[in-house]
Structure 1
Amino acid sequence: MKMTVDQIQQTSADSGTRETADLERMEARTRHSLHPRAYAGFSFVYPVLSRRARGVSLGVNLSPDALCNFSCRYCQVDRRGSRSSSRIDVGAILAEASAILDDWTDGTLPAKAGWGPLPSSLLRLNDFALSGDGEPTQSPLFGQVLEALRGLLDKRSLGSVKLIIITNGSGLSRPSVMRAMSRLRPRHDEIWVKLDWGSQKAFRDTTGTRRSLPVHLSRIVSASRVIPVTIQTCLFGTEAGGPSEAEIKAYVRSLRFLRGRKADLARVQIYTISRPPADSSLRPISPGRLREIARIVRDETGFPAEAFGA
């Protein structure tokens, strides 16, 4: 039986906790199959069951060659295999996005994605997320893809579906990127920016770059003037333990810096690794410890903070 868009989108405002619990159960069953890049032979667009989006997110991979300007220790993109030779094509992305919306509307997407039966609380299309196997703002067609997706959603009267940019923040100083992001809808569309740990040394060690943490924080402040920013932080330990109390304090200091500069942060998302990372010595942090760190962030910075376990 076909579902209407209204039926699919229908969800109560207080369903977030139930959706998260449902997603946790789904991930426990099929953890490594929830973030595949392959769907129906597509090259760029793929569906994801996302706890952080509390529903279905449609990923748009602007880095099919798996190249990235960061080399994060926790990165869970498998870069060991052969890389795709697909070149970014706005028309192809739009065609795939349109086709996957058709699958969503007629109810065939979950089966095609291999998810099996889903709780009704998860039948909510949340967003198109520009992310994928690298840094999306590196693509010279980033702005064009953003505009094309917005036009597609408007044409289909899907104004409730968000556009989300998931970025390491390196492109937030480029005028072309900020012009594109300025066309996002404040308080609806979202920018999710990585903030990896709180000291210069830990930031560089984690990201595998020589970039400046103060410059990164200043870029977050500037971006938040355009649209509220969601901070994403992946915390992890090693066989020796961690993160230490000193590292958590440094992280809180960075968030306090953002508060002091009046950065407009929608929320802070604290999570851990759930699939094999680039650095095999890393270990996930327990859900209880993540919740405790999120509580510290809320108490000491005033920012809303959520924890997402492995």
Structure 2
Amino acid sequence: MVSKLTTTDHCSDVVGLKYVYPVISRRMGGLSIGINFNTNNACNWRCIYCQVPGLKIGTAPAMDFKLLENELRFFLGEVLNGDFYQRFQVDKNQQVIKDIAIAGNGEPTSLKEFAEAIDLIGKIATEAGVFPHSNYVLITNGSLVHQAKVQAGLKSLNSYGGEVWFKLDSATEEGRALINNTAQSCKASVENLLLSATLCTTKLQTCLVDYNKQGLSDKEKQAYLNLLMDIKKSGCNLQTVMLYTIARPSLQPEALLLAPLSPEILNAFADQIRFLGFDVSVSI
């Protein structure tokens, strides 16, 4: 018996495909069609809230473009003309394709053929009538935006009206090392963020967690607010900040030390960010 798709089930093999998987997105309020470039569960970061099983440090494997094309065309056909919603018991009010989101089990911009993959997905979705009515989203840690192949992909994404969701979970070096296990400096990350915003509509996405019952410290909040003020002063066309906390169990060694932040803390912080002139969404 096919199980019901819910916002807490983001299993990437639920429909038995290699690259394509469905998600009922709590942030988007409908069907998000996920595209997983990192089928080897490899990423250049190791975020402590990550739900990827067997996560390892590395890059995306070579893309089988014909398989990606076949899977995406097949799956869009099932959703648009088949019985997908009925088989997976998707609620009536969520039976709409909100976006096609490149996310998956690692950092998608590490794919060698990144720009080509972005363009192929855009062409298929446009031919199927999904674009421009649905969003085209790249979810990324932004660590590789300085690379030419990634910039070419962002330009292609922009040509389809897409947007970048750029991860920034902490504005302190200590926080980035703890939460993301990355040695890339906050300065380098911000430089990539500013570059991304010149190439494609870019939104900031920030996962805030309670680590070891420490909550959200004043130091972390102030560093984040200071960074946003600097971004605003730079003239960067960044308008939107998306705050969220963990909704599903981490599969990393730190899992038992993690807890979601309360709606009160998230909403209070969101109000501080709005005061700086940003649009802010909060997902609990």
Q: What TM-score do the two structures reach when normalised by structure 1?
A: 0.82
Partner in structure 1 of residue 195 of structure 2: 222
Contact 2:98/2:134 (8 A) holds in 1: yes
For the structure 1 residues 229 and 306, does the alpha-carbon distance in structure 2 shift closer, same or farther, using more than 3 Å as the test? same
Partner in structure 2 of residue 97 of structure 1: 72
| Pair 1:142 & 2:125 matched | no
SS of residue in 2 equivalent to 1:40: coil
Partner in structure 1 of residue 233 of structure 2: 260
Return the alpha-carbon distance in structure 1 between the equivalents of residues 160 and 231 of structure 2: 19
How many residues are treated as equivalent by the alignment?
274
Return the alpha-carbon distance in structure 2 between the equivalents of residues 186 and 288 of structure 1: 38
Q: CA deviation at 1:107?
A: 4.7
Q: Within 5 A, what are the aligned runs for 1:67-146?
A: 67-79=42-54, 88-112=63-87, 114=88, 116-120=89-93, 122-146=94-118
Q: CA deviation at 1:163?
A: 1.7
SS of residue in 1 equivalent to 2:79: helix
Q: CA deviation at 1:239?
A: 3.9
1:150-194 Cα distance to aligned partner (Å, 9 max, x none): 111222233222221110001100011101211223693110000
Matched letter for residue 98 of structure 1: R
Q: CA deviation at 1:80?
A: 6.5
| Pair 1:213 & 2:189 matched | no
Identity across matched positions, percent: 27
Partner in structure 2 of residue 65 of structure 1: 40
Candidates 189, 197, 201, aligned match of 2:174: 201
For the structure 1 residues 69 and 307, does the alpha-carbon distance in structure 2 shift closer, same or farther, using more than 3 Å as the test? same
Candidates 151, 157, 174, aligned match of 2:147: 174
Return the alpha-carbon distance in structure 1 between the equivalents of residues 206 and 173 of structure 2: 15
Candidates 252, 260, 278, aligned match of 1:284: 260
Q: Whose strand proportion is higher, 1 or 2? A: 2
Contact 1:236/1:273 (8 A) holds in 2: yes
Contact 1:64/1:87 (8 A) holds in 2: no
Return the alpha-carbon distance in structure 2 between the equivalents of residues 187 and 298 of structure 1: 29
SS of residue in 1 equivalent to 2:259: coil
Q: Structure 1 regions of 5+ residues with no counterpart?
A: 1-25
Return the alpha-carbon distance in structure 2 between the equivalents of residues 99 and 139 of structure 1: 23
1:199-253 Cα distance to aligned partner (Å, 9 max, x none): 1221222111211101101110111011121111000113433111221111111
For the structure 1 residues 154 and 118, does the alpha-carbon distance in structure 2 shift closer, same or farther, using more than 3 Å as the test? same
Candidates 222, 237, 260, aligned match of 1:249: 222
Contact 2:41/2:55 (8 A) holds in 1: no
Return the alpha-carbon distance in structure 2 between the equivalents of residues 80 and 133 of structure 1: 8
Contact 2:7/2:23 (8 A) holds in 1: no
For the structure 1 residues 186 and 265, does the alpha-carbon distance in structure 2 shift closer, same or farther, using more than 3 Å as the test? farther
Q: What TM-score do the two structures reach when normalised by structure 2?
A: 0.90
Matched letter for residue 175 of structure 1: A
SS of residue in 1 equivalent to 2:232: helix
Return the alpha-carbon distance in structure 2 between the equivalents of residues 151 and 80 of structure 1: 31
Contact 2:62/2:113 (8 A) holds in 1: no
Matched letter for residue 119 of structure 2: E
Q: Structure 2 regions of 5+ residues with no counterpart?
A: none
